[in-house]
Structure 1
């Protein structure tokens, strides 16, 4: 490295990673995404879990409340966002854990592939599947199961997609703390179940104990449910809906960043 006076200075070894840091590369990111999608193509069970299970659950829910369609209308929109989040969390955490424990991630990081490229590639791959999943579930709920929404179905699709991306980000993050697929599944009660109980699905959050209400205010699933309810009750895009969507998107980006930070962890 040369200073302004023309003298040459050496870069300390500890600073080398920062000097070599590069912006996220489109080609490396898409190559990573293509590799992940190619692997998933040979795993029909994971594809079925991501694509079909949310649709099956919505159909089951619709006919559970066959005699009370208004009940389905009141909770169907919320579950339209929760189901993709759960399935993407499970699939992403298990798929990423396999690559951590097999040493694939360590080998990739030894190549000219930055952590940003890697995490963006995973997000792109699973995000592509999330788009398909959310589109199928939303279309099924609105045009086949007659989910009655006041607002635009496209807004439902947007929130469902953000929820699926949030589930992807959470799955990438928690995979760093599991040593086996069984342990990855065990994280679901710890990470998702409290959010399901406190998101306002069963009772308005304002009716909860003040401590639980305060806790629900910092959980992203609460804002996903609030966003779905805004679409359910309003014909136009409201400021509350925009705020809810931005919070869910911001949480997804934050967790993706945390997931990138865990890539420095070495697997045994």
Structure 2
């Protein structure tokens, strides 16, 4: 801060000396400091919603896949379908693998719908290729699918699945970049490194 003050004082003194010379106005205009703005993402026309929209896109992908997978697996278990499958010669690993494949395909279709709607209907600006946006959000959907299946094993009703939302889903949006993390305690900001939406939000903003 002291060095910047000395530099400004020297510049002001130089401008005062130049102002006393002939053609001082033209020389002073040339010596005026010029401020140049550069943008890491977007340009001067970028709005706040253009910055938030990639994060919200990933959030809705995570939220809907987590909710649908958790509810569906819980319904299979509470209605007795899963117990009847366990009574067959099919192994448990094969049952889980089958559920993962079927709901994984549904999660991919749901992710494609959300991403394409956001890009082409809501006009999300993309600098790179849309394929990478789709890939990153599909990976996020698969993580949400795994978490939904995991949480469904601890729940005994749909209401308990809803109770997992403040624990699993809500922190995703607060630590994904919508809320500035430089204003909170550093130890609390480290929570973002264990949340999948943080990485997908950073990737989507760069794409």
Alignment TM-score, normalising by the size of structure 2: 0.72
Q: Counterpart of 1:217 in 2: which secondary structure?
A: helix
Tell me the distance in 2 between the aligned counterparts of 1:208 and 1:222: 16
Which residue of structure 1 lines up, in the alignment, with residue 6 of structure 2? none
Which residue of structure 2 lines up, in the alignment, with residue 140 of structure 1? 117
Tell me the distance in 1 between the aligned counterparts of 2:201 and 2:51: 11
Name the Cα RMSD after superposition. Answer: 1.8
Tell me the distance in 2 between the aligned counterparts of 1:83 and 1:98: 22
- Structure ranking higher on relative contact order (CA contacts 8 Å, 6+ apart): 2
Which residue of structure 1 lines up, in the alignment, with residue 186 of structure 2? 210
| Larger Cα-atom Rg | 2
| Count of residue correspondences | 163
Note the residue ranges of structure 2 that are not aligned, 5 or more in a row: 1-44
Aligned counterpart in structure 1 of residue 64 of structure 2, from 74, 87, 104 = 87
| 1:152 matches 2:129 | yes
> What are the equivalent positions in structure 2 for 1:1-268 lying under 5 Å apart?
70-203=47-180, 205-231=181-207
Check whether the contact 1:85–1:164 (CA below 8 A) recurs between aligned residues.
Answer: yes
Deviations 1:9-48 (A, max 9, x none): xxxxxxxxxxxxxxxxxxxxxxxxxxxxxxxxxxxxxxxx
Tell me the distance in 2 between the aligned counterparts of 1:201 and 1:122: 34
Tell me the distance in 2 between the aligned counterparts of 1:113 and 1:200: 44
Check whether the contact 2:71–2:158 (CA below 8 A) recurs between aligned residues.
Answer: yes
Q: Counterpart of 2:164 in 1: which secondary structure?
A: helix
Note the residue ranges of structure 1 that are not aligned, 5 or more in a row: 1-67, 232-268
Alignment TM-score, normalising by the size of structure 1: 0.57
> How far is the alpha carbon of 1:206 from its aligned partner?
4.8
> How far is the alpha carbon of 1:208 from its aligned partner?
3.6
Tell me the distance in 2 between the aligned counterparts of 1:134 and 1:93: 16
> How far is the alpha carbon of 1:144 from its aligned partner?
2.2
> How far is the alpha carbon of 1:207 from its aligned partner?
4.8
Tell me the distance in 2 between the aligned counterparts of 1:86 and 1:198: 15
Check whether the contact 1:82–1:163 (CA below 8 A) recurs between aligned residues.
Answer: no
